[in-house]
Amino acid sequence: MDKQMLIKQYPQIKDLMAKRPIVWRNPDYGKTAKLPLSQAQIFDAVARWERFAPYLEKAFPETVATHGVIESPLVHIDRMQAAWEMLNRQSLMGQMYLKADSELPVSGSIKSRGGIYEVLKFAETVAMERTDLTYMDDYGILATPRYHNLFSQYSVIVASTGNLALSVGIAAASFGFKTTVYMSHDAREWKKARLRAGGVTVKEFAMDFSSVIPLAREAAKADPHCHFVDDEGSTDLFLGYAVAAVRLQAQLKQQEIKLDADHPVVVYLPAGVGGSPSGVAFGLKMIMGANIHPVFCEPVHVPSVTLGMMTKLNHRISVQDIGLDGLTAADGLAVSRPSRIAGKIMRTLLLGSVTFNDDDLFTYVSELIDTQKLTVEPSAAAGFTAIKPLMTVFPQFAGPNVTHIVWATGGEMMPTSERQLDYQRGVDLLAERL
Protein backbone atom coordinates (compact mmCIF):
# COMPACT_ATOMS: atom_id res chain seq x y z
CA MET A 1 0.00 0.00 0.00
CA ASP A 2 1.53 3.31 -1.13
CA LYS A 3 1.23 5.65 1.87
CA GLN A 4 2.52 8.68 -0.04
CA MET A 5 -0.10 8.22 -2.74
CA LEU A 6 -2.82 7.96 -0.07
CA ILE A 7 -1.56 11.12 1.66
CA LYS A 8 -1.58 12.99 -1.65
CA GLN A 9 -5.16 11.90 -2.31
CA TYR A 10 -6.39 12.28 1.31
CA PRO A 11 -4.21 14.89 3.11
CA GLN A 12 -5.85 14.25 6.51
CA ILE A 13 -4.09 10.86 6.62
CA LYS A 14 -0.96 12.83 7.57
CA ASP A 15 -2.76 13.98 10.74
CA LEU A 16 -3.95 10.44 11.42
CA MET A 17 -0.36 9.17 11.11
CA ALA A 18 0.83 11.88 13.53
CA LYS A 19 -1.95 10.93 16.00
CA ARG A 20 -3.42 14.42 15.82
CA PRO A 21 -7.16 14.68 16.56
CA ILE A 22 -9.16 15.45 13.42
CA VAL A 23 -12.69 16.05 12.21
CA TRP A 24 -13.38 14.20 8.96
CA ARG A 25 -16.29 15.48 6.89
CA ASN A 26 -17.94 12.75 4.86
CA PRO A 27 -18.15 14.18 1.31
CA ASP A 28 -20.90 11.71 0.39
CA TYR A 29 -23.22 12.46 3.33
CA GLY A 30 -26.82 12.88 2.26
CA LYS A 31 -26.37 11.59 -1.29
CA THR A 32 -28.77 9.04 -2.73
CA ALA A 33 -27.59 5.44 -2.53
CA LYS A 34 -28.99 1.94 -2.96
CA LEU A 35 -28.68 0.33 0.47
CA PRO A 36 -28.39 -3.45 0.98
CA LEU A 37 -30.72 -3.36 4.01
CA SER A 38 -34.16 -1.83 4.46
CA GLN A 39 -36.52 -0.26 6.96
CA ALA A 40 -38.67 -3.39 6.69
CA GLN A 41 -35.77 -5.50 8.03
CA ILE A 42 -35.52 -3.20 11.06
CA PHE A 43 -39.20 -3.77 11.80
CA ASP A 44 -38.67 -7.53 11.39
CA ALA A 45 -35.99 -7.26 14.10
CA VAL A 46 -38.36 -5.22 16.30
CA ALA A 47 -40.95 -7.98 16.00
CA ARG A 48 -38.41 -10.67 16.92
CA TRP A 49 -37.43 -8.75 20.08
CA GLU A 50 -41.14 -8.59 20.96
CA ARG A 51 -41.60 -12.35 20.45
CA PHE A 52 -38.67 -13.05 22.76
CA ALA A 53 -39.77 -10.69 25.54
CA PRO A 54 -41.47 -13.51 27.55
CA TYR A 55 -38.27 -15.59 27.33
CA LEU A 56 -36.03 -12.69 28.38
CA GLU A 57 -38.31 -11.93 31.32
CA LYS A 58 -37.90 -15.53 32.55
CA ALA A 59 -34.19 -15.88 31.80
CA PHE A 60 -33.11 -12.47 33.12
CA PRO A 61 -34.97 -11.23 36.21
CA GLU A 62 -33.54 -7.74 35.70
CA THR A 63 -35.94 -7.38 32.73
CA VAL A 64 -39.10 -8.21 34.72
CA ALA A 65 -39.84 -4.52 35.39
CA THR A 66 -39.77 -3.83 31.62
CA HIS A 67 -41.61 -7.07 30.73
CA GLY A 68 -38.63 -8.49 28.87
CA VAL A 69 -37.78 -5.33 26.94
CA ILE A 70 -34.06 -4.55 26.80
CA GLU A 71 -33.73 -0.78 26.54
CA SER A 72 -31.78 2.10 28.08
CA PRO A 73 -32.86 5.54 29.31
CA LEU A 74 -32.32 8.83 27.49
CA VAL A 75 -31.04 11.17 30.22
CA HIS A 76 -30.97 14.98 30.17
CA ILE A 77 -27.51 15.72 31.62
CA ASP A 78 -27.70 19.45 32.33
CA ARG A 79 -25.14 19.37 35.15
CA MET A 80 -22.69 17.51 32.93
CA GLN A 81 -23.33 20.10 30.25
CA ALA A 82 -22.25 22.84 32.67
CA ALA A 83 -19.09 20.87 33.51
CA TRP A 84 -18.43 20.36 29.77
CA GLU A 85 -18.67 24.12 29.26
CA MET A 86 -16.13 24.74 32.03
CA LEU A 87 -13.72 22.13 30.64
CA ASN A 88 -13.98 23.42 27.08
CA ARG A 89 -14.17 27.10 27.98
CA GLN A 90 -17.17 27.70 25.77
CA SER A 91 -20.93 27.61 26.08
CA LEU A 92 -23.08 24.91 24.54
CA MET A 93 -26.27 26.64 23.48
CA GLY A 94 -28.17 23.46 22.65
CA GLN A 95 -29.19 20.63 24.99
CA MET A 96 -27.02 17.67 26.02
CA TYR A 97 -28.40 14.16 26.58
CA LEU A 98 -26.89 10.77 27.36
CA LYS A 99 -28.26 7.63 25.72
CA ALA A 100 -27.28 5.33 28.57
CA ASP A 101 -26.61 2.00 26.89
CA SER A 102 -24.19 1.62 29.80
CA GLU A 103 -27.33 0.63 31.73
CA LEU A 104 -28.76 -1.87 29.25
CA PRO A 105 -29.92 -5.05 31.03
CA VAL A 106 -28.04 -8.37 30.77
CA SER A 107 -24.58 -7.19 29.67
CA GLY A 108 -24.47 -3.47 30.48
CA SER A 109 -23.41 -2.26 27.04
CA ILE A 110 -24.60 -1.46 23.52
CA LYS A 111 -23.68 -5.05 22.64
CA SER A 112 -26.83 -6.14 24.51
CA ARG A 113 -28.58 -4.98 21.35
CA GLY A 114 -26.73 -6.72 18.52
CA GLY A 115 -25.11 -9.57 20.44
CA ILE A 116 -28.22 -10.76 22.23
CA TYR A 117 -30.37 -10.24 19.12
CA GLU A 118 -28.16 -12.52 17.02
CA VAL A 119 -28.32 -15.23 19.69
CA LEU A 120 -32.12 -14.89 19.83
CA LYS A 121 -32.38 -15.28 16.07
CA PHE A 122 -30.17 -18.39 16.11
CA ALA A 123 -32.23 -19.90 18.95
CA GLU A 124 -35.44 -19.21 17.02
CA THR A 125 -34.03 -20.82 13.87
CA VAL A 126 -32.97 -23.97 15.76
CA ALA A 127 -36.31 -24.21 17.58
CA MET A 128 -38.31 -23.75 14.37
CA GLU A 129 -36.29 -26.42 12.55
CA ARG A 130 -36.26 -28.98 15.34
CA THR A 131 -39.60 -28.52 17.17
CA ASP A 132 -43.20 -27.45 16.59
CA LEU A 133 -42.59 -23.86 17.82
CA THR A 134 -44.68 -21.31 15.92
CA TYR A 135 -44.33 -17.55 15.66
CA MET A 136 -47.53 -17.10 17.66
CA ASP A 137 -46.37 -19.20 20.64
CA ASP A 138 -45.35 -17.78 24.00
CA TYR A 139 -41.56 -17.84 23.67
CA GLY A 140 -41.29 -18.25 27.43
CA ILE A 141 -41.42 -21.97 26.62
CA LEU A 142 -37.84 -21.70 25.35
CA ALA A 143 -36.69 -21.40 28.97
CA THR A 144 -37.90 -24.96 29.78
CA PRO A 145 -35.63 -28.05 30.14
CA ARG A 146 -36.92 -29.49 26.85
CA TYR A 147 -35.49 -26.59 24.88
CA HIS A 148 -32.38 -26.26 27.05
CA ASN A 149 -31.53 -29.87 26.17
CA LEU A 150 -32.09 -29.14 22.47
CA PHE A 151 -29.91 -26.04 22.49
CA SER A 152 -27.12 -27.89 24.33
CA GLN A 153 -26.57 -29.85 21.09
CA TYR A 154 -25.46 -26.61 19.42
CA SER A 155 -22.62 -24.17 20.02
CA VAL A 156 -21.89 -20.48 19.55
CA ILE A 157 -18.48 -18.91 18.93
CA VAL A 158 -17.62 -15.20 18.99
CA ALA A 159 -14.40 -13.17 18.88
CA SER A 160 -14.37 -9.97 20.91
CA THR A 161 -12.38 -7.32 22.75
CA GLY A 162 -14.86 -7.65 25.60
CA ASN A 163 -18.38 -6.26 25.46
CA LEU A 164 -19.67 -8.32 22.53
CA ALA A 165 -18.28 -11.39 24.31
CA LEU A 166 -20.31 -10.54 27.41
CA SER A 167 -23.59 -10.08 25.56
CA VAL A 168 -23.22 -13.14 23.32
CA GLY A 169 -21.72 -15.28 26.10
CA ILE A 170 -24.37 -14.48 28.71
CA ALA A 171 -27.28 -14.80 26.27
CA ALA A 172 -26.05 -18.00 24.58
CA ALA A 173 -25.30 -19.69 27.91
CA SER A 174 -28.82 -18.82 29.14
CA PHE A 175 -30.29 -20.95 26.32
CA GLY A 176 -27.88 -23.80 26.96
CA PHE A 177 -25.66 -23.34 23.89
CA LYS A 178 -22.05 -24.47 24.33
CA THR A 179 -20.40 -21.07 24.13
CA THR A 180 -16.77 -20.18 23.35
CA VAL A 181 -15.29 -16.70 23.27
CA TYR A 182 -12.01 -15.84 21.54
CA MET A 183 -10.51 -12.75 23.18
CA SER A 184 -7.73 -10.41 22.06
CA HIS A 185 -4.91 -9.07 24.22
CA ASP A 186 -6.76 -5.86 25.10
CA ALA A 187 -9.73 -7.59 26.80
CA ARG A 188 -10.09 -6.77 30.49
CA GLU A 189 -9.56 -9.51 33.07
CA TRP A 190 -12.89 -8.87 34.79
CA LYS A 191 -14.75 -9.54 31.53
CA LYS A 192 -12.99 -12.89 31.13
CA ALA A 193 -13.77 -13.79 34.75
CA ARG A 194 -17.45 -12.86 34.37
CA LEU A 195 -17.78 -15.09 31.30
CA ARG A 196 -16.04 -18.06 32.89
CA ALA A 197 -18.29 -17.73 35.93
CA GLY A 198 -21.29 -18.10 33.61
CA GLY A 199 -20.00 -21.33 32.07
CA VAL A 200 -18.49 -19.79 28.94
CA THR A 201 -15.17 -21.10 27.59
CA VAL A 202 -12.68 -18.25 27.12
CA LYS A 203 -9.70 -18.60 24.79
CA GLU A 204 -7.10 -15.84 25.08
CA PHE A 205 -4.65 -14.72 22.38
CA ALA A 206 -1.71 -12.32 22.58
CA MET A 207 -2.76 -10.48 19.42
CA ASP A 208 -5.24 -7.80 18.42
CA PHE A 209 -8.90 -8.35 17.59
CA SER A 210 -8.46 -8.30 13.82
CA SER A 211 -5.99 -11.20 14.07
CA VAL A 212 -8.12 -13.24 16.49
CA ILE A 213 -11.36 -13.16 14.50
CA PRO A 214 -10.13 -15.42 11.62
CA LEU A 215 -9.12 -18.05 14.20
CA ALA A 216 -12.63 -18.01 15.67
CA ARG A 217 -14.19 -18.15 12.21
CA GLU A 218 -12.16 -21.23 11.26
CA ALA A 219 -13.01 -23.01 14.53
CA ALA A 220 -16.73 -22.42 13.90
CA LYS A 221 -16.50 -23.80 10.34
CA ALA A 222 -15.29 -27.13 11.71
CA ASP A 223 -18.60 -27.74 13.56
CA PRO A 224 -21.83 -27.94 11.49
CA HIS A 225 -23.89 -27.26 14.64
CA CYS A 226 -21.91 -24.11 15.50
CA HIS A 227 -23.05 -20.53 14.89
CA PHE A 228 -20.33 -17.90 14.44
CA VAL A 229 -21.14 -14.34 15.50
CA ASP A 230 -19.12 -12.28 13.03
CA ASP A 231 -18.40 -8.82 14.42
CA GLU A 232 -16.75 -7.86 11.12
CA GLY A 233 -19.74 -8.54 8.90
CA SER A 234 -22.91 -9.88 10.54
CA THR A 235 -26.20 -8.55 9.20
CA ASP A 236 -28.04 -9.89 12.27
CA LEU A 237 -25.79 -7.97 14.65
CA PHE A 238 -26.28 -4.88 12.51
CA LEU A 239 -30.08 -5.10 12.56
CA GLY A 240 -30.13 -5.79 16.30
CA TYR A 241 -28.37 -2.46 16.82
CA ALA A 242 -30.66 -0.68 14.35
CA VAL A 243 -33.71 -1.36 16.57
CA ALA A 244 -32.30 1.28 18.94
CA ALA A 245 -33.58 3.94 16.53
CA VAL A 246 -37.20 2.85 16.87
CA ARG A 247 -36.86 3.05 20.66
CA LEU A 248 -35.05 6.41 20.55
CA GLN A 249 -37.75 7.90 18.34
CA ALA A 250 -40.32 7.11 21.04
CA GLN A 251 -38.08 8.58 23.76
CA LEU A 252 -37.62 11.83 21.85
CA LYS A 253 -41.41 12.13 21.60
CA GLN A 254 -41.92 11.27 25.30
CA GLN A 255 -39.41 13.91 26.37
CA GLU A 256 -40.78 16.48 23.90
CA ILE A 257 -37.45 16.82 22.09
CA LYS A 258 -38.15 18.35 18.71
CA LEU A 259 -36.68 16.82 15.56
CA ASP A 260 -37.12 18.78 12.35
CA ALA A 261 -35.13 20.98 9.97
CA ASP A 262 -34.99 23.77 12.57
CA HIS A 263 -34.27 21.39 15.47
CA PRO A 264 -31.56 18.94 14.36
CA VAL A 265 -30.28 16.13 16.57
CA VAL A 266 -26.59 15.12 16.51
CA VAL A 267 -25.75 11.65 17.83
CA TYR A 268 -22.16 10.86 18.89
CA LEU A 269 -21.28 7.16 18.64
CA PRO A 270 -17.98 5.53 19.73
CA ALA A 271 -16.61 3.30 16.95
CA GLY A 272 -14.36 0.24 17.16
CA VAL A 273 -14.92 -2.28 14.38
CA GLY A 274 -17.86 -0.05 13.44
CA GLY A 275 -20.66 -2.61 13.54
CA SER A 276 -22.68 -1.28 16.47
CA PRO A 277 -22.43 2.46 15.68
CA SER A 278 -23.17 1.73 12.00
CA GLY A 279 -26.21 -0.36 12.91
CA VAL A 280 -27.51 2.39 15.18
CA ALA A 281 -26.73 5.10 12.61
CA PHE A 282 -28.44 3.14 9.84
CA GLY A 283 -31.50 2.80 12.05
CA LEU A 284 -31.50 6.51 12.92
CA LYS A 285 -31.48 7.53 9.26
CA MET A 286 -34.03 4.90 8.16
CA ILE A 287 -36.45 5.68 10.98
CA MET A 288 -35.99 9.43 11.53
CA GLY A 289 -34.59 10.74 8.26
CA ALA A 290 -32.62 13.79 7.23
CA ASN A 291 -32.59 15.82 10.45
CA ILE A 292 -30.75 13.37 12.70
CA HIS A 293 -27.00 13.29 12.16
CA PRO A 294 -24.73 10.40 13.26
CA VAL A 295 -21.07 11.09 14.10
CA PHE A 296 -18.41 8.45 14.88
CA CYS A 297 -15.76 8.96 17.57
CA GLU A 298 -12.44 7.06 17.49
CA PRO A 299 -9.09 7.07 19.36
CA VAL A 300 -6.16 8.74 17.57
CA HIS A 301 -4.24 5.44 17.84
CA VAL A 302 -7.06 3.39 16.24
CA PRO A 303 -9.10 5.48 13.75
CA SER A 304 -9.97 2.38 11.73
CA VAL A 305 -13.45 3.31 10.46
CA THR A 306 -12.37 6.90 9.73
CA LEU A 307 -9.39 5.63 7.73
CA GLY A 308 -11.48 3.05 5.88
CA MET A 309 -14.22 5.51 4.95
CA MET A 310 -11.86 8.39 4.15
CA THR A 311 -9.91 6.26 1.66
CA LYS A 312 -13.00 4.29 0.53
CA LEU A 313 -10.88 1.16 1.13
CA ASN A 314 -13.07 0.24 4.13
CA HIS A 315 -11.98 -3.18 5.51
CA ARG A 316 -9.16 -3.41 2.97
CA ILE A 317 -7.01 -1.05 5.05
CA SER A 318 -5.91 -1.22 8.71
CA VAL A 319 -4.37 1.41 10.97
CA GLN A 320 -1.10 -0.55 10.94
CA ASP A 321 -0.90 0.16 7.20
CA ILE A 322 -0.30 3.83 8.03
CA GLY A 323 2.07 3.10 10.92
CA LEU A 324 -0.30 3.29 13.90
CA ASP A 325 -0.04 0.82 16.80
CA GLY A 326 -3.77 0.31 17.44
CA LEU A 327 -3.32 0.64 21.21
CA THR A 328 -5.87 2.51 23.32
CA ALA A 329 -7.24 2.61 26.86
CA ALA A 330 -10.69 2.40 25.26
CA ASP A 331 -10.58 -1.40 25.03
CA GLY A 332 -13.87 -1.71 23.15
CA LEU A 333 -12.51 0.55 20.39
CA ALA A 334 -9.18 -1.26 19.95
CA VAL A 335 -9.96 -2.68 16.51
CA SER A 336 -7.43 -1.92 13.78
CA ARG A 337 -9.48 -3.03 10.74
CA PRO A 338 -13.12 -1.94 10.26
CA SER A 339 -16.19 -4.06 9.62
CA ARG A 340 -16.80 -5.33 6.09
CA ILE A 341 -20.25 -3.74 6.00
CA ALA A 342 -19.89 -0.58 8.12
CA GLY A 343 -18.17 1.70 5.63
CA LYS A 344 -20.24 0.59 2.66
CA ILE A 345 -23.59 1.21 4.35
CA MET A 346 -22.40 4.39 6.10
CA ARG A 347 -21.12 5.92 2.85
CA THR A 348 -24.08 8.32 2.56
CA LEU A 349 -25.48 8.09 6.11
CA LEU A 350 -22.58 9.29 8.32
CA LEU A 351 -22.08 13.04 8.81
CA GLY A 352 -18.42 12.51 9.68
CA SER A 353 -16.05 11.35 12.40
CA VAL A 354 -13.89 12.83 15.14
CA THR A 355 -10.71 11.39 16.68
CA PHE A 356 -9.59 11.98 20.26
CA ASN A 357 -6.75 11.48 22.75
CA ASP A 358 -7.29 8.79 25.39
CA ASP A 359 -6.70 11.13 28.33
CA ASP A 360 -9.78 13.16 27.43
CA LEU A 361 -11.97 10.10 28.03
CA PHE A 362 -11.01 9.88 31.68
CA THR A 363 -11.73 13.53 32.43
CA TYR A 364 -15.26 13.05 31.11
CA VAL A 365 -15.68 9.75 33.00
CA SER A 366 -14.90 11.48 36.31
CA GLU A 367 -16.99 14.57 35.50
CA LEU A 368 -20.01 12.40 34.64
CA ILE A 369 -19.74 10.66 38.01
CA ASP A 370 -19.34 13.95 39.91
CA THR A 371 -22.13 15.79 38.12
CA GLN A 372 -24.74 13.13 37.34
CA LYS A 373 -23.66 10.10 39.42
CA LEU A 374 -23.48 8.11 36.17
CA THR A 375 -20.65 5.62 35.55
CA VAL A 376 -19.47 4.67 32.09
CA GLU A 377 -16.38 2.88 30.87
CA PRO A 378 -13.75 5.08 29.18
CA SER A 379 -14.72 4.22 25.58
CA ALA A 380 -18.33 5.17 26.36
CA ALA A 381 -17.29 8.77 27.10
CA ALA A 382 -15.93 9.25 23.57
CA GLY A 383 -18.90 11.32 22.43
CA PHE A 384 -18.07 14.14 24.84
CA THR A 385 -14.71 14.63 23.11
CA ALA A 386 -16.36 15.16 19.72
CA ILE A 387 -18.87 17.94 20.42
CA LYS A 388 -16.51 20.93 20.42
CA PRO A 389 -14.45 19.98 17.32
CA LEU A 390 -17.61 19.02 15.44
CA MET A 391 -19.24 22.41 16.09
CA THR A 392 -16.06 24.13 14.87
CA VAL A 393 -16.25 22.36 11.51
CA PHE A 394 -20.07 22.30 11.33
CA PRO A 395 -21.15 25.67 12.85
CA GLN A 396 -24.78 24.92 11.96
CA PHE A 397 -24.81 22.54 14.94
CA ALA A 398 -23.66 25.17 17.45
CA GLY A 399 -27.06 26.86 17.79
CA PRO A 400 -29.62 26.81 20.63
CA ASN A 401 -32.09 24.51 18.83
CA VAL A 402 -29.66 21.60 18.49
CA THR A 403 -29.88 18.47 20.66
CA HIS A 404 -26.58 16.65 21.28
CA ILE A 405 -26.89 12.97 22.27
CA VAL A 406 -23.79 11.24 23.58
CA TRP A 407 -24.20 7.46 23.19
CA ALA A 408 -22.73 5.85 26.33
CA THR A 409 -21.91 2.38 25.06
CA GLY A 410 -20.95 0.50 28.24
CA GLY A 411 -20.00 0.47 31.90
CA GLU A 412 -22.75 -1.02 34.08
CA MET A 413 -20.92 -4.31 34.73
CA MET A 414 -17.53 -2.80 35.58
CA PRO A 415 -16.14 -3.90 38.96
CA THR A 416 -15.95 -1.17 41.61
CA SER A 417 -12.15 -1.36 41.61
CA GLU A 418 -12.02 -0.62 37.86
CA ARG A 419 -14.46 2.25 38.21
CA GLN A 420 -12.37 3.78 40.97
CA LEU A 421 -9.16 3.55 38.94
CA ASP A 422 -10.78 5.25 35.93
CA TYR A 423 -12.36 7.91 38.14
CA GLN A 424 -9.09 8.68 39.90
CA ARG A 425 -7.19 8.94 36.62
CA GLY A 426 -9.75 11.48 35.46
CA VAL A 427 -9.49 13.45 38.69
CA ASP A 428 -5.68 13.52 38.39
CA LEU A 429 -5.83 14.69 34.78
CA LEU A 430 -8.31 17.42 35.67
CA ALA A 431 -6.01 18.61 38.47
CA GLU A 432 -3.14 18.89 35.99
CA ARG A 433 -5.27 21.10 33.74
CA LEU A 434 -6.11 23.61 36.47
pLDDT given for residue 1 in this prediction: 67
Instruction: Give the predicted TM-score (pTM) of the model.
Output: 0.96
Position 431 confidence tier, pLDDT thresholds 50, 70, 90: very high
Model confidence over 51-69: pLDDT tens digits? 999 999 999 999 999 999 9
For residues 128 and 198, membership in a common domain is answered with: yes
pLDDT given for residue 81 in this prediction: 98
**What's the domain range around 161?**
110-235
Angle between helices 275-288 and 235-254 (to 10 degrees): 50
Residue 49 lies in a domain: no
B/e letters for 316-345, b = 16+ CB within 10 Å, e = fewer, are: ebbbebbebebebbbbbbbbbbbbbbbbbb
CA distance 356 to 425: 17
Check which CATH number belongs to the domain holding 179 and give it: 3.40.50.1100
Least confident of 32-46, 159-173, 293-307: 159-173
Residue 300 lies in a domain: yes
pLDDT given for residue 288 in this prediction: 98
191 against 241, higher pLDDT: 241
Position 209 pLDDT exceeds 90: no
For residues 159 and 174, membership in a common domain is answered with: yes
For residues 283 and 403, membership in a common domain is answered with: yes
Residue 47 lies in a domain: no
Residue 53 lies in a domain: no
Position 20 confidence tier, pLDDT thresholds 50, 70, 90: very high
Backbone torsions φ then ψ of 199, nearest 5 degrees: 90, 15
Position 313 pLDDT exceeds 80: yes
**pLDDT average, residue stretch 12-36:** 97
Three-point CA angle 159, 317, 322, nearest 5°: 115
Distances (CA, A) of 433 to 86, 162, 385, 430: 12, 31, 16, 5
Angle between helices 358-372 and 382-393 (to 10 degrees): 110
Position 286 pLDDT exceeds 90: yes
For residues 305 and 202, membership in a common domain is answered with: no
Sheet of strand 403-408, all strands in order from the earlier edge strand to the far edge: 23-25, 352-356, 292-299, 265-270, 403-408, 95-100, 74-76
Position 407 confidence tier, pLDDT thresholds 50, 70, 90: very high
For residues 315 and 412, membership in a common domain is answered with: yes
**With helix as H, strand as E and coil as C, how does the chain read?**
CCHHHHHHHCCHHHHHHCCCCCEEECCCCCCCCCCCCCHHHHHHHHHHHHHHHHHHHHHCHHHHHHCCCCCCCEEECHHHHHHHHHHHCCCCCCEEEEEEHHHCCCCCECHHHHHHHHHHHHHHHHHHHHCCCCCCCCHHHHHCHHHHHHHCCCEEEEEECCHHHHHHHHHHHHHCCEEEEEECCCCCHHHHHHHHHCCCEEEECCCCHHHHHHHHHHHHHCCCCEEEECCCCCHHHHHHHHHHHHHHHHHHHHCCCCCECCECEEEEEECCCCHHHHHHHHHHHHHHHHHEEEEEEEECCCCHHHHHHHHCCHHHCCHHHHCCCCCCCCHHHCCCCCCCCHHHHHCCCCCEEEEECHHHHHHHHHHHHHHHCCCCCHHHHHHHHHHHHHHHHCHHHCCCCCEEEEEECECCCCCHHHHHHHHHHHHHHHHHHC
**pLDDT average, residue stretch 304-316:** 97
Report the first-to-last Cα separation within the chain, whole angstroms.
44
pLDDT given for residue 31 in this prediction: 97
For residues 145 and 246, membership in a common domain is answered with: no
CA distance 118 to 229: 7
CA distance 161 to 164: 7
For residues 210 and 310, membership in a common domain is answered with: no
For residues 266 and 386, membership in a common domain is answered with: yes
For residues 166 and 258, membership in a common domain is answered with: no
Domain count, the chain: 2
Type of residue found at 11: P
Percent of the chain with pLDDT over 70: 100
Final residue of a structural domain among 175, 205, 235: 235
Sheet of strand 226-229, all strands in order from the earlier edge strand to the far edge: 201-204, 178-183, 155-160, 226-229
Residue 247 lies in a domain: yes
CA distance 313 to 170: 34
For residues 262 and 385, membership in a common domain is answered with: yes
Position 303 pLDDT exceeds 80: yes
Final residue of a structural domain among 235, 259, 285: 235
For residues 283 and 338, membership in a common domain is answered with: yes
Residue 44 lies in a domain: no
pLDDT given for residue 269 in this prediction: 98
Q: With contact defined as beta carbons under 8 Å apart, do 127 and 175 qualify?
A: no
For residues 275 and 419, membership in a common domain is answered with: yes
**pLDDT average, residue stretch 252-270:** 98
Position 98 pLDDT exceeds 90: yes
Final residue of a structural domain among 235, 259, 281: 235
347 against 185, higher pLDDT: 347
Residue 134 lies in a domain: yes
pLDDT given for residue 295 in this prediction: 98
Residue 59 lies in a domain: no
CA distance 407 to 98: 6
pLDDT given for residue 231 in this prediction: 86
